[in-house]
Structure 1
Amino acid sequence: MGMTVGAGETQRRRRRRRAYEFLDYVNPERGRALRWCEAARELRSADGGDMKEARKLLRSALSCVKDYASVYRTWIAMEADGGGIGAARELVFAAKGTDGEYAAFWLAYLAFELRHGGSGCEHARAVAVDAARACPRDAAVQARCATVLLQGAKKKGRDGSGTRRVAMMLASSTSVL
């Protein structure tokens, strides 16, 4: 017995197939990785949100694709969406250094901590300091770190003069810490 697919679903599948064809042309490794990620998301959905089988699939993907960063980003997001913030943090540490764009990793990690812990969160502040040290010449990382450190000082009710000095140094300097 076959399932009938609505016109909207058919169009969605066609758009997705065209997007993957384009991605395969531009960046084949990323296309392969994203297919694994999509399969994991569908598996989690079919299992009612249970991550057990999806985790197995994503773990397998890491040994089958070269674009580890895409797999890790998807896995981290899925864990966080399911409430597994601790598991997501562990994956962030496992992913560190697998992304060809190191600055992008630090910005994504900082965004993760801000989303799941708030700007006054000690995790976010610690990540901001680590990111500033790891990417001393990246203006986007330095600016974001300065913002996080300043916001953290304001939320704690401090005058933030020491933090403000560090943040200003981060924002204006190419060599820090």
Structure 2
Amino acid sequence: MRTDSRLLKNTKSIKKLKQFLDSVSENPQKYAHDDRVISALSSQGALSKLCIAEEGIFSTSTNTLKRISDSEIEGGFSTLDALRISAKRAISELKETTKIQRRNTREQLAEEKSRLLEKLQQSQQDCWRLTVAFNKAMNQGRRYAYSSGDKTIIALCLKEQKELKAMFSLVTRPEK
């Protein structure tokens, strides 16, 4: 009787294992970060040691796995091993695809960074040109005021230029 209950338990467990391997192949993203599953897919012996009680899968010897698979699963153990390899390949392909996507993202970020640095450099050059033009206009305005000889115009010009320079000052930048 004891042998029968172990046999039944192992048979149910191996059938559940087959379903589980199908599930991994169909939905590798669900198991891609489960080290226990990834390790179990590495070899036949590791697969026989897999225990996921909540799925009804329990560890057994490799010989028991092969013997019961041959008698209870269509295609025998070779079908179960092919499912193991298929599940392992599905997870590997998913991880490789994820690496490629990440690499593309890094490349895209590098391109975006380069584009933004060029834009920043262009903006700095534009700012410099505006500053030079502003200073030239200020100098011309002051020359015109002095050439008029009117002290009121000179005083007004100097006062307004002081206000304009304060607005353009890079010393008092706005807080972030």
Higher helix fraction (1 or 2)? 2
TM-score by length of 1: 0.22
Under a length normalisation based on structure 2, what TM-score does the superposition of the two structures give?
Answer: 0.22
